[in-house]
A and B are shown apart, each in its own frame.
Chain A
Amino acid sequence: MSSAQFGNLIQAEFFTSTHRLSGRVHAGTKPLGDLLNDHSQSYLLVFDVYISRLSEPGEIVAYAPTAFLTKDNLSFVIVPTRQARGPEQGRYASQQYKALVTLPGVEVQGKFAGPYRFDIRTFTPATLDTYQVLFEAEARLVSLPDVTFSGEAILVNRTRVESFCLSE
């Protein structure tokens, strides 16, 4: 498992273009996906944060009891499945698609749920939630292709997406 739930604290992994941050979020009764897609708050408060550089992603370089993460600047977030589902998935999910998404310095592969007649042109940040869920997903660093991060679900920041490729 990539993440674990501690009471109402959700353990998750946050990735920027340069750093990996492992920490816990008070999500209350909402899934973490909802908090990330909540536009009324631009920051996410995270506790017990262990920080690694993506150049050495296993090494912990710093610890912070609390940290504010700017949602717009996160590339992707690895979470347990039940923390990924936002309202969007409830409305449209009916068929699974495979996708390869490129972000600055990272490739993410996984599955996502969409309507039967999915039109990739509708896949824009303006029309949907900011964070797109990819299930059974794996992220690979372009600079260190042997290093992968996998999880039940990866929430990809659509505003950071460079290309979104649908596969069979």
Chain B
Amino acid sequence: MATVLVVDDDAALITIICQFLENAGFGTVWATSGSEAMEKAFALQPEAIVLDIMMPHMDGHQVCRRLRRDPRTARSIIVALTARSQPVDKITAIQAGADAYLTKPFQGKELVETIQEFLPERLAKRSPRNGQILHLRFKEGVGATTLAANLGIALADRNHGRAVVADLDLQKGGLSDRLGLTAEGSWIQSDRITADGLAPKLLLHSSRLSVLPSPRIKAREVASAPVAKVLEFLRSWYDFVVLDTPANLGTQASAVLSSSSLILLLLTPEPAILRQAQASLPMIRQIVRAETQIWPIVNMAQSRQEPFAKQVEQVLVLPVAAVLPWAPQECEQAVQTRNPVVLSAPGSALSAAIHELARDIRQAAQLVAQERNGT
């Protein structure tokens, strides 16, 4: 049974709306203020929220924006309800994140039909694809953070799913800076990680990509349990979780490797790196799950027909999933403008290659989901 959260400062109206919804087979919960609504929405993650716009203290637009930003409620159906009925009111509500807009006085049937119209699509999207992608690099400076940011944006496509990039360089990660986002506070406050503590720390990029910034802690080592818990939450909220990790995974190796469904081995055309990958591959295979896929990626390639890619395939006995061209000008411009290449140079060869890789990842995730569902 789908649950609907009804939010209105008029208790009498809440009773009427709940009655309509319960008669139509929905479960209902209610809140009489914006702050109470957010508390209940984050805790219960209802399928739909009927939200009054005209409420004192925190109006419906503010509530709507915060619900949409939070991964726990980003997929809930939001129906705005208000006595303000001008076209500009509808536009404002939709821009704030509402799916639909009804004017008071309204018909109960109309409200029920509106929720039912959005429900099948939203329920389908609420099952995350559990696609956790780990970028494994064997040394710093191979463009892993650049790839993580760009791949995350390519995966966070409106029509294909929601994506987050988690900066797991816990001491000095700079992913949020790279995207022009400002992190506030650390998500590692204690060993106990909660959804309420984690969700507000996620940053939203204009491309729809969510970012979990580095907590930038001073301790050299962090226990793996909090990180594993964070990844568990992210996988339950997003279709794709891209991990940007340092070359030395340290104590996090087991947690990140064993929970990832796809590992991208990031290789630059250097014989030493290939030897390192060859030596590490058996150990990686011991830790990862049997169904985890390992895709070598050649980054900073001088040409599309890179001989190094052939060497990689021979040595690792794995097909190279992507050859990303060397694009120093575009990358330099992206760093300076804090606007990743897929946005700042969408027509570039690098951008095209990243989108192609994202498409392959989506297809692979779809195949895994179909196998899991037996379809």
Contacts and interface: CB of A to CB of B under 8 A. Distances in A.
Partners in one complex: yes
B56 A148 contact: no
Contacts of B105: 1, 4
Interface stretch (B88-96, B178-186, B319-327): B88-96
Given A22-B54, A58-B92, A63-B57, A1 B103 contact: yes
B92 A59 contact: yes
Interface string B310-345: 000000000000000000000000000000000000
Interface string A1-22: 1111000000101000000001
B91 A58 contact: yes
A1 B92 CA distance: 18
B86 A149 contact: yes
Given A1-B103, A58-B91, A147-B88, A22 B56 contact: no
Contacts, number: 47
Interface in B43-79: 53-54, 56-57, 59, 61
A60 B85 contact: no
Given A58-B92, A60-B59, A60-B61, A50 B54 contact: yes
Interface in A8-52: 11, 13, 22, 48, 50
B87 interface: yes
Contacts of A59: 61, 92
A63 B59 contact: yes
B61 A2 contact: no
B104 interface: yes
A30 B104 CA distance: 23
B83 interface: yes
Contact of A11 (B61, B83, B88): B83
Interface of B: 53-54, 56-57, 59, 61, 83-89, 91-93, 103-105
19 contacts: A1-B85, A1-B103, A2-B85, A2-B86, A4-B104, A11-B83, A22-B84, A57-B86, A57-B88, A58-B61, A58-B86, A58-B93, A59-B61, A60-B53, A63-B56, A63-B59, A148-B86, A148-B87, A149-B86
